[in-house]
Chain A
Amino acid sequence: MNLTMLLNMVAEGMPERVLIGDAKTGFTGAQLRELAYGGAAYIESRGVDTVVFLGGNGPGFPGALFASAYSGRPFLPINYRLGDEQLSEILARRDKPLVITDMPERVGDAETITIADFMKMAEQPASDPGLADMDPSAIAVLLMTSGTTAAPKSAVLRHRHLMSYIFGSVDFASAEDSEATIVSIPPYHIAAVANLLSNLYAGRRIFYLDQFTAEQWLSHVRDQQITNAMVVPTMLVRIVEELTKHGEQAPASLRAVSYGGAKISEQVLLKALDLFPNTGFVNAYGLTETASSIAVLGPEDHRRAWAATDPAVRARLASVGRALPTVEIEVHDEHGARTAPGKVGDIVVRGPQVAGEYLEAGSTIDSDGWFRTRDRGYIDAEGYIFVQDRADDTIIRGGENIAPSEIEDVLTRHATVADCAVAGIPDDEWGHRIAAFIVSAPGASPDPEDLREYVRSKLRSAKTPDAIVFVDELPTTPTGKVLRRDLIRLVTQGNPAT
């Protein structure tokens, strides 16, 4: 099993289909393979040990990824938004990398080639250099994850993890040749890697939009007759705003939109379901360490929940759906035992696509094969999974464990609150004090005491925020995950609390 097999099947089984870029001027699978062959020969000639990609979305990304596979080297896409120091530190971990980049000035001593020069290799006819490492346990891709400590870890994805995921969730050439997807997810994110492999294997053309704006996204969806899209929740918010601004519904060509990467607000989802009446929505839950999706809430699940009068079914709109058939997902208590349905605990997963490994720390999979996602949540009686909080975000106040999401869910329902995040502030007496960071609804001026009383009336006084802090917006990562440590710093670095 090797990623090269995937491209071989695509180049042989669907040679004429344009799969990367514009419908008229883009690359076919066969052309992508030629580029990868040429790229692989170049990589071999430079004697490097890793292929690093430092750039935005575009055909360079699939080219570099497959060239790495045909050359038998691991592929490491890096976030170009990282500071110089972090970037140097990550590059220094590799002995002899080749950096394919449109910003070569940023990589110090490391060997570089521009993306443009690399792409020129597509112009020379080439053949398979025969260097692919056919051991299914060879490393295919490395991705940097940021943990709660300062230094990012190198998550390891071996060929067998990625291939298990693809073979387990996609049928070869299952897309019609009119299908096309638009991608604005950055190339250093697992979702972009999985997206590339899935869509190529299915035969669905991939159109890259590097700098996302809702206006450009909608414009390209129309021009390119896009049928599928993958977005993070913040993009969906902007797309919904743009459509609402113009009093429009979503383009008719869109058959399916999948979202994930961070929590989505129910209001945004409901508005989207309204503005995209002919589109199937898919919520995908997965991690870098699990080679992307392990659970999906599909279009039928969305429709049934939206239309439901039974609150238990309706609640599933906030779930991430059910486990994919090729993995097992459970919720465990602190002793490692399965919890009862509805009871909150640690979400764990096992299956052939679960890598759960870092270069720096080795495998983190336990003796029963379980990988701890470090997400807290529960599973309902029908197997629908609800993700609540990161375990690391748990507030421990006076010895009691408090889930931020429980308080956030209450506060978001208050009419004066547009968005909020709750975090524990280190405190000598209590362990943590509870701080709620509030983004006010437009035109509203919430009273902190009103908000505290509101929470007290719904939950117990122990879960009432000690401090209310107003912010213009919540700081997030590019994929929309709230950066609680930045919010905590607002309080610990001496700003007024209320």
Chain B
Amino acid sequence: MGIRLRSQASAAEVIVVKGSDADVELLCAGLAMSDGVAGEASQVSDGPTLELGKRYSDPQSGIEVLVSKAGIGPLSWDGRELVQAQAKQLPASD
């Protein structure tokens, strides 16, 4: 939870909002994301854009990430593509 992961194939970066103990890697455009240095940003040109600020989740494992830098995806976990989470319906309390 709270870790920032960087794509090794595109400019995308995500923050893990809900993690998992499972020994599975989060992939972006087919390559494992890294918590270290980012990869070459423009290795892929084909694929869905991961939009800045959107959340993606895997309903089966419950993992959820937030896109902190836009880039080309898709995101996948354990062979499943992550789906975009719905916008929150909470009223602004601040």
Q: Which of B42-94 contact A (CB under 8 A)?
A: 52-55, 66, 68-70, 87-88, 90-94
Are B93 and A293 closer than 8 Å at their CB atoms?
yes
Contact A5 to B68, CB < 8 A, known contacts A163-B2, A172-B54, A173-B53: yes
Q: In the complex the two chains form, what is the Cα distance from A170 to B93 in whole Å?
A: 10
Residue on A nearest B66 in the bound complex, by CB: A167
Interface residue count for B (Cβ, 8 Å)?
21
Helix, strand, loop or mixed for chain B's interface?
loop
Q: Is A230 located at the chain interface by the 8 A CB criterion?
A: yes
Are B1 and A136 closer than 8 Å at their CB atoms?
yes
Are A160 and B68 closer than 8 Å at their CB atoms?
no
Are A256 and B92 closer than 8 Å at their CB atoms?
yes
A104 to chain B, nearest CB (A): 31
Helix, strand, loop or mixed for chain A's interface?
mixed
Residue on A nearest B69 in the bound complex, by CB: A12
Q: In the complex the two chains form, what is the Cα distance from A256 to B94 in whole Å?
A: 10
Are B94 and A199 closer than 8 Å at their CB atoms?
yes
Complex partner residue of A324 from B4, B69, B90, CB under 8 angstroms: B90
Q: In the complex the two chains form, what is the Cα distance from A136 to B4 in whole Å?
A: 10
Q: Is B15 located at the chain interface by the 8 A CB criterion?
A: yes
Complex partner residue of A228 from B17, B53, B92, CB under 8 angstroms: B92
Interface residue count for A (Cβ, 8 Å)?
45
Q: Which residues of A contact B55 (CB under 8 A)?
A: 167
Are B93 and A169 closer than 8 Å at their CB atoms?
yes
Q: Which residues of B contact A324 (CB under 8 A)?
A: 90
Q: Is A296 located at the chain interface by the 8 A CB criterion?
A: yes
Residue on A nearest B86 in the bound complex, by CB: A171
Q: Which residues of A contact B70 (CB under 8 A)?
A: 13
Are B90 and A136 closer than 8 Å at their CB atoms?
no
Q: In the complex the two chains form, what is the Cα distance from A164 to B66 in whole Å?
A: 11
Interface string of A165-201 (1 = CB under 8 A from B): 0011111111000000000000000010011011100
Are B53 and A172 closer than 8 Å at their CB atoms?
yes
Q: In the complex the two chains form, what is the Cα distance from A195 to B94 in whole Å?
A: 5
A170-B92, A198-B94 are known; give 4 further A-B pairs, CB within 8 A.
Answer: A172-B66, A204-B92, A282-B92, A298-B91
5 contacts between A and B (CB under 8 A): A13-B70, A194-B94, A228-B92, A292-B93, A325-B90
A residues neighboring B (CB under 8 Å): 1, 5, 8-9, 12-13, 134, 136, 159-160, 163-164, 167-174, 191, 194-195, 197-199, 202, 204, 228, 230, 256, 258, 260, 280, 282, 284, 286, 292-293, 296, 298-299, 324-325, 352
